[in-house]
């Protein structure tokens, strides 16, 4: 692996690479972006380059800290362990890299406790913070770090990523995965390797088809599905929007070549025939409202039940 084997993020990769080879790479950094966007790949590559290594493997002077399983935040006790590790000298050379995942889960006291270490780490120590929600990081920490924002990959980059990493996919399937992943490579990998995401796709399109001619009690049986996949709500909503987008395009043009979810073309046709343009656009607004509520951590079961009821009423 090298920076230029990582698909996308060209500006960020070039900026980082140049600062390392010119000896201008600062001691503290934040890499922010959505889950699966490539933060850990870039952080690991930075660490390998700083150590002067040329291949991906485990190195004693690359120390990674992750959120403890079943915990929702990183507290003072965990940060004390990180600070203790930061104060230890490198084992093999003159550099050591600390990579902290989920740094946006640091409590405010933990961030304040970590501030001095981030500001003035020991010589040869580099700290890389990875996060999704940079707004959860204190301004005092952000001001002391170089910040890199990773954006979603373009359609062309996603196709390149899929062709490079999964050799036997058909053109149609690549199109489906690219649409579902919505520019996030990690989501594409999960789609291919995880059967649960296939169940999500199948169930979501069934909800849309049955929403038209079933009563509310029949629709609410899907509450168990939403409960089962409550942690996959982003994938669920992405599926809804992708199918509705296809239905709108097919309804307007009748051109199946413009359909992304081509493997579901018959279902897409059904949805296009069932719903008017106004109703399809109304469902889009319901999905967007659902996303906003879930991002605010409103109870997911209540939010999804409300979504189903509103879809019936649209």
Instruction: Tell me the per-residue pLDDT of 56-82, one tens digit each, with 9 for 90 and over.
Output: 888 999 999 999 888 889 999 999 999
Residue-wise pLDDT for 11-30, tens only, equals 999 999 999 998 899 999 99
Instruction: In whole angstroms, give the CA distance from residue 310 to residue 286.
Output: 7
Closest among 136, 289, 199 to 207, alpha carbons compared: 199
**Is the predicted pLDDT of residue 216 greater than 70, yes or no?**
no
Q: Any residues with CB less than 8 A from the CB of 237 and at least 6 apart, and which?
A: 287, 290, 291, 294
- How would residue 213 be classed by pLDDT, with cut points 50, 70 and 90? low
Q: Any residues with CB less than 8 A from the CB of 40 and at least 6 apart, and which?
A: 99, 101, 130
Instruction: Over range 240-269, report the average pLDDT.
Output: 91
Contacts for 119-122 with beta carbons within 8 Å, 24 or more apart?
Answer: 119/28, 119/144, 121/27, 121/28, 121/86, 122/86, 122/87, 122/89
**Is the predicted pLDDT of residue 1 greater than 60, yes or no?**
no
Structure confidence at residue 88 (pLDDT): 93
Instruction: In whole angstroms, give the CA distance from residue 244 to residue 241.
Output: 5
CATH tag for 194-313 (out of 1.10.600.10, 1.20.272.10, 1.10.3720.10, 3.30.1380.10):
1.20.272.10
Instruction: In whole angstroms, give the CA distance from residue 196 to residue 151.
Output: 26
Instruction: Over range 1-14, report the average pLDDT.
Output: 82
Provide the 3-class DSSP secondary structure of residue 275. coil
The second-level CATH assignment, the architecture, of 3-149 is 3-Layer(aba) Sandwich (3.40)
Q: How many CB atoms lie within 10 A of CB 39?
A: 25
Q: Which two tokens stand for residue 255?
A: 């051109």
Q: For residue 5, how far is the Cα from the chain centroid?
A: 20
Q: How far is CA 310 from CA 54, 187, 305, in A?
A: 55, 28, 9
Provide the 3-class DSSP secondary structure of residue 28. strand
Structure confidence at residue 2 (pLDDT): 65
Instruction: In whole angstroms, give the CA distance from residue 215 to residue 226.
Output: 18
Structure confidence at residue 9 (pLDDT): 93
Instruction: Over range 160-174, report the average pLDDT.
Output: 86
**Is the predicted pLDDT of residue 181 greater than 60, yes or no?**
yes
The C-alpha angle 196, 228, 303, rounded to 5 degrees, equals: 120
What are the residue ranges spanned by the domains of the chain? 3-149, 194-313
Q: Which two tokens stand for residue 258?
A: 């413009």
């Amino acid at each position: 692996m090298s920076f230029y084997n990582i698909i996308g993020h060209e500006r960020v990769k070039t900026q980082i690479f140049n600062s390392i080879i010119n000896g201008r790479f600062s001691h503290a950094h934040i890499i922010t972006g959505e889950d699966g966007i490539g933060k850990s790949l870039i952080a690991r590559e930075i660490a390998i380059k700083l150590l002067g290594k040329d291949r991906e493997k485990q190195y004693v002077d690359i120390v990674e800290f992750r959120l403890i399983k079943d915990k929702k935040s990183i507290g003072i006790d965990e940060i004390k362990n990180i600070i203790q590790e930061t104060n230890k000298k490198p084992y093999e050379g003159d550099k050591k890299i600390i990579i902290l995942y989920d740094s946006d889960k640091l409590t405010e006291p933990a961030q304040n406790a970590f501030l001095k270490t981030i500001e003035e780490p020991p010589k040869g120590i580099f700290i890389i913070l990875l996060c999704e929600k940079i707004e959860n990081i204190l301004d005092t920490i952000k001001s002391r770090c170089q910040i890199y924002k990773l954006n979603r990959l373009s359609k062309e980059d996603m196709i390149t990523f899929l062709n490079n990493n999964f050799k036997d996919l058909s053109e149609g399937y690549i199109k489906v995965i690219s649409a579902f992943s919505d520019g996030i490579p990690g989501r594409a990998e999960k789609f291919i390797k995880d059967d649960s995401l296939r169940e999500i796709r199948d169930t979501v399109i069934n909800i849309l088809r049955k929403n038209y001619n079933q009563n509310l009690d029949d629709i609410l049986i899907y509450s168990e599905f939403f409960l089962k996949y409550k942690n996959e709500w982003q994938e669920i909503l992405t599926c809804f929007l992708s199918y509705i987008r296809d239905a709108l395009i097919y309804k307007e043009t009748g051109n199946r070549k413009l359909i992304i979810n081509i493997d579901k073309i018959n279902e897409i046709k059904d949805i296009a025939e069932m719903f008017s343009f106004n109703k399809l656009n109304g469902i889009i607004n319901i999905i967007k409202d659902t996303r906003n509520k879930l991002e605010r951590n409103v109870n997911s079961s209540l939010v999804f039940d409300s979504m189903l009821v509103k879809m019936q009423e649209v």
